[in-house]
Structure 1
């Protein structure tokens, strides 16, 4: 794989750490700002909402830029957002910093996914995406546990200062390793927007929203679920988060290989496993060994969904992929916002910290239903295309332009 993918993975590591670190620091943030844990959980939803809004806006704003220039600008914005978060004197300023950082998130992954796919031959696109997104999953193995431990030991601000340092390394990596290709010929705002008039893009985005929503429904309140339901000590949270991260890394790589073989079947397998494991996490929440096993497998299923879902969107918008790719990153984070919001409402209603996992199961079923509708649509299009081909062949033959001696099957007429 090209070394430029390493630069994208480093940046993804910093972005992933920022996105997921809040889940391990909710008790500390709630205590420092004197808000409830569910209110602190809105920092997760706020970040996700920032991605949903920022992804298309910044991608549109950068349509005239070279892709490398766009990636560098986005990493500068990401660094600034985390700096604001580290210095935040109030909950509102912290939310603002999260949103600023989130604005760069979707556009970076959207443009970065196109760059990654272009660096390799078509048969290896999903694996190239999985390499880039491995930075996101490694953030859960290294960044989130380390950040949680730093936050518990030195205060949550120290965690954001560490992310600022990682963002600086990512910025330097993109500058040094990503090739600076000319802006693609024919790229324009109108062409990028035109893909949303194609029937396949919107269903693909819906697949992502509902197929990925169970992830944050389950993990938004994983820290209090462990301590209040499972009886884990606060010090065990970083260790379990690290094990979850190992599952995410494995799932991301597995999803890439499955998607390179067959994209839609990979979606069924990963989203189906995520749905079942959401229910298992809910049942196992009170049993520590069972919960650890379930949450690791949940991590495998969670990030196994990313390469096939992202590849399907790229396939659905192959003529103008940048905006559609960024929109799909927004769809992932709309899923995050939806999942964390429903999780918070469930906890606020008094159903306990394990109950959101059942909501995750329901969302996963919705994701499978949407995928089924997409599959039916693809099959109908294939049948219609076959029918049109046969009609064209019959018209060609009846016009007298076909070989008068042999038919289209190559056999002599009698």
Structure 2
């Protein structure tokens, strides 16, 4: 694996873990913030809203070199997860989760461009898939590790480690990712011209329905397993 792809995969890991770790630590977080489980679900929604809003960074930052954007995304992730770790009330944690979500969607769009550009000829898809593997590893290892830390020590420690991971990733990107020129500027309207065709709308609807089906139950997987399934948190 090229070092540049490894650096991008590290970014995918931290964002993937930051998104999903809340599902595993929801009961502990709710107790610490003195809110109900349904109210704590807003910490997940706040991150998702941040993802939506953050994609606008690519619209207005289309002239910025992709490497600089990746560094910016890691700075935002560092700030968001640090604030999550030190949150002393529910509104602060909501704001912190929103900030943490801002770089998520924009990162994957930018990292895909870099991975494709730096790939050897004929291996563009492989390069992109290796970058996205960072999020897969986050779901397989990062989220369970964060849940375990929450159970044994503190839920805040999970976010503190993610903040440190964002800082490490920023250093890796600075050292390993070369300059990549921005894509040709098509203007504000050009960014959305693809929506004039029916195909993208079907894809968006499929993604919407699929994610709705997953997150409706996955968001509350921890309390459901404990209260309905009868499993202890340990």
C-alpha displacement of 1:204 = 2.1
In structure 1, the residue corresponding to 2:25 is in which secondary structure? helix
C-alpha displacement of 1:53 = 1.9
* Unaligned runs of at least 5 residues, structure 2: none
C-alpha displacement of 1:224 = 1.8
Q: CA RMSD in A?
A: 1.9
C-alpha displacement of 1:184 = 3.1
CA separation in 1, counterparts of 2:217 and 2:124?
29
Residue 148 of structure 2 aligns with which residue?
149
C-alpha displacement of 1:136 = 0.8
Q: Does 1:95 find its partner at 2:94?
A: yes
Residue 15 of structure 1 aligns with which residue?
15
Q: Deviations over 1:313-350 (max 9, x none)?
A: xxxxxxxxxxxxxxxxxxxxxxxxxxxxxxxxxxxxxx
Q: 1:318-329, aligned counterparts within 5 Å?
A: none
Q: 1:280-319, aligned counterparts within 5 Å?
A: none
Residue 67 of structure 1 aligns with which residue?
66
Count of residues in correspondence between the two structures:
234
Report the TM-score when normalising by structure 2: 0.91
CA separation in 1, counterparts of 2:210 and 2:31?
33
Are 1:2 and 1:119, in contact at CA under 8 Å, matched by a contact in 2?
Answer: no
* Unaligned runs of at least 5 residues, structure 1: 236-414
Residue 211 of structure 2 aligns with which residue?
212
CA separation in 2, counterparts of 1:44 and 1:185?
35
Are 2:116 and 2:127, in contact at CA under 8 Å, matched by a contact in 1?
Answer: yes
In structure 2, the residue corresponding to 1:112 is in which secondary structure? helix
Q: 1:266-281, aligned counterparts within 5 Å?
A: none
Report the TM-score when normalising by structure 1: 0.53
CA separation in 1, counterparts of 2:168 and 2:108?
17
Q: 1:364-379, aligned counterparts within 5 Å?
A: none
Residue 24 of structure 2 aligns with which residue?
24
C-alpha displacement of 1:229 = 2.4
C-alpha displacement of 1:198 = 3.6
C-alpha displacement of 1:124 = 4.0
Q: Deviations over 1:9-55 (max 9, x none)?
A: 10111111111111111111111121111111121111112111221
Q: Does 1:36 find its partner at 2:56?
A: no
CA separation in 1, counterparts of 2:182 and 2:230?
55
C-alpha displacement of 1:209 = 1.4
Residue 222 of structure 1 aligns with which residue?
221
Q: Deviations over 1:254-275 (max 9, x none)?
A: xxxxxxxxxxxxxxxxxxxxxx
C-alpha displacement of 1:121 = 5.7
CA separation in 1, counterparts of 2:40 and 2:130?
32
Q: CA 1:114/1:92 → structure 2, altered by over 3 Å: closer, same or farther?
A: same
Q: Does 1:109 find its partner at 2:111?
A: no
Q: CA 1:22/1:214 → structure 2, altered by over 3 Å: closer, same or farther?
A: same
CA separation in 2, counterparts of 1:116 and 1:198?
27
CA separation in 2, counterparts of 1:119 and 1:54?
25
Residue 50 of structure 1 aligns with which residue?
50
Q: Deviations over 1:329-383 (max 9, x none)?
A: xxxxxxxxxxxxxxxxxxxxxxxxxxxxxxxxxxxxxxxxxxxxxxxxxxxxxxx
CA separation in 1, counterparts of 2:118 and 2:186?
18
Residue 117 of structure 2 aligns with which residue?
118
C-alpha displacement of 1:93 = 0.4
Q: CA 1:122/1:226 → structure 2, altered by over 3 Å: closer, same or farther?
A: farther
In structure 1, the residue corresponding to 2:15 is in which secondary structure? helix
Residue 168 of structure 2 aligns with which residue?
169
Q: Does 1:201 find its partner at 2:195?
A: no
